[in-house]
Amino acid sequence: MVELSTVDLLIASLLVVLLALLSLRQQSNISRQLIIAAVRTAVQLTLVGLVLKVLFENATLGWVTLMALFMLFVAGREVMMRQERRFKGWWGYAAGTFSMFLSSFAITVFALVVILGNDPWYEPQYAIPLLGMLLGNTMSGIAIAMDRLTHAAWEQRHIIEARLMLGETANEAISGYRNQAVRSGMIPIINAMAAAGVVSLPGMMTGQILAGTLPVEAVKYQILIMFLVSAGTGLGTLAAVHIGASRLFDSRQRLCLDRLREP
């Protein structure tokens, strides 16, 4: 494996700086966001690398669980912040976080115990990267689906209320928009699976090949990851949309858009 130096990373960062300067010249508003995102990426990944180094040297269930919960809580915040019209109060945070906990944690434990069969099963070398990939993709799917659901409910509120007055239940009145939200949340992972190996080489497979793993073995791991990620994203999106759709109505099946924050 070719080791990268700090100079190599600085050279790569010049590409991001060049893009920011070009965006600034075009009077685009993304230059500042791009630089901040790049700095956050470098700092966060460096800190994670140092934390994982210590975690690998002290591989106990308690420390692995603490790291996993920290990742979950941060992912929950990202889901909440990516929604323009999110739910007020703790619901805005809890809906996405709980859905990711149900899907990503359950599938990660299943993969570690049943498929990989590590001893111990919580070996951080496998548990943390696997959970990270599941949380990252599930986070994106849930954020897109929840944003689509709340936007549709707000924009189509008159239609939904008219359907309720005509005798439909809350579930029937919101069903079409709920299905669209689930579809929107699943599109990225479906596209990724459809293009894998033909249009692009997924990140994990590329990383393993660069690290010297045989391509055939890297492919096996990538197929496993894609299946786990698709299941985690799908289950998390379904759970989040179900919770969100239920939250949009009260016990008398009235549409309650006052539960949503203004953008």
> Residue ranges of the domains in the chain?
1-57, 59-259
* pLDDT at position 201 over 70: no
Mean pLDDT of the chain: 87
pTM of the entire predicted model: 0.83
* Confidence at residue 178, expressed as pLDDT on a 0 to 100 scale: 93
Residue 175 identity: S
Closest CA relative to residue 185, chosen from 177, 195, 174: 177
* pLDDT at position 200 over 70: no
* pLDDT at position 242 over 70: yes
Tokens of 235: 């289950």
Report how far residue 216's alpha carbon sits from residue 209's, in angstroms, rounded to the nearest whole number.
9
Report how far residue 35's alpha carbon sits from residue 40's, in angstroms, rounded to the nearest whole number.
9
